[in-house]
Structure 1
Amino acid sequence: MTDTTRRTVVTPAVPVAAPTPAPAPRHARVWRGLTPWLFLLAPLALLITFTYAPIANMLAYSFTDWDGVSPELHYTGGHNYTELFTRPELFEVFFVSGYYLAASAVQIVAALYFATVLSFDVRFRNFFKGVLFFPYLINGVAIGFVFLYFFQDGGTLDSVLALFGYDPDHAWLGTPVSANTSLAGVSVWRYLGLNFVLFLGAIQSIPGELYEAAELDGAGRWQQFRHIIAPGIKPVLTLTVILSVSGSLSAFEIPYIMTGGATGTETFVIQTVKLAFQFNKTGLASAAAVVLLLIVLAVTWVQRRLVPDDKVDLV
Structure 2
Amino acid sequence: MTRTSSSLRRGAAEGDRPRDPARRSRRRPRRPWSQSLTPWLFLLVPLALLATFSYVPIINMVVYSFTDWDGVSPGYTFTGLENYAEILTRPELFKVFVASAYYLGASVVQIVLALYFATVLSFSTRFRNLFKGILFFPYLINGVAIGFVFLYFFQEGGTFDTVLRLFGIGGEHLWLGDPDLVNFSLAGVSVWRYLGLNFVLFLGAIQSIAPELYEAAELDGASRWQQFRFVIAPSLRPIIGLTAILAISGSLSVFEIPYIMTGGAGASETFVIQTIKLAFRFNKTGLASAAAVVLLVIILLVAWAQRRLVPEERVTPS
Q: Contact 1:91–1:268 at 8 Å: present in 2 too? A: yes
Q: Contact 1:231–1:312 at 8 Å: present in 2 too? A: no
Q: Contact 1:232–1:312 at 8 Å: present in 2 too? A: no
Counterpart of 1:236 (choices 239, 243, 248) is 239
2:148 matches 1:135: no
Counterpart residue identity of residue 36, structure 1: P
Question: Gaps (5+ residues) in structure 2?
Answer: 1-9
Other-structure match for 1:120: 123
Deviations 1:248-280 (A, max 9, x none): 000011000000000000000000000000000
Write the distance in 2 (CA, Å) between the matches of 1:222 and 1:32.
52
Other-structure match for 1:36: 39
Task: Report how many aligned residue pairs link the two structures.
Answer: 300
- Which residues of 2 match residues 1-315 of structure 1 at below 5 A? 16-18=18-20, 29-311=32-314
Shift in Å, 1:163: 1.9
Q: Contact 2:67–2:78 at 8 Å: present in 1 too? A: yes
Write the distance in 2 (CA, Å) between the matches of 1:83 and 1:289.
13
Q: TM-score, normalised by structure 1?
A: 0.91
Cα pair distance change 1:312/1:145, threshold 3 Å: farther
Counterpart residue identity of residue 79, structure 2: T
29-38 vs 87-96, greater mean Cα deviation: 29-38
Shift in Å, 1:113: 0.1
Shift in Å, 1:165: 2.3
Deviations 1:95-132 (A, max 9, x none): 11000000000000000000000000000000000000
3-state SS of paired residue (2:181): helix
Shift in Å, 1:36: 1.6
Other-structure match for 1:6: none
Counterpart residue identity of residue 298, structure 1: L
Cα pair distance change 1:68/1:209, threshold 3 Å: same
Cα pair distance change 1:229/1:312, threshold 3 Å: farther
Write the distance in 2 (CA, Å) between the matches of 1:207 and 1:176.
49
Q: Contact 2:64–2:285 at 8 Å: present in 1 too? A: yes
- Measured on the aligned residues, the alpha-carbon RMSD in Å equals 2.0
Q: Contact 1:249–1:268 at 8 Å: present in 2 too? A: yes
Write the distance in 2 (CA, Å) between the matches of 1:37 and 1:229.
39
Shift in Å, 1:312: 7.0
Question: Gaps (5+ residues) in structure 1?
Answer: 1-10
Write the distance in 2 (CA, Å) between the matches of 1:312 and 1:224.
23
Counterpart residue identity of residue 59, structure 2: A
3-state SS of paired residue (1:174): coil
Shift in Å, 1:193: 0.1
Q: Contact 2:205–2:236 at 8 Å: present in 1 too? A: yes
Write the distance in 2 (CA, Å) between the matches of 1:189 and 1:260.
20
Q: TM-score, normalised by structure 2?
A: 0.90
Shift in Å, 1:169: 4.3
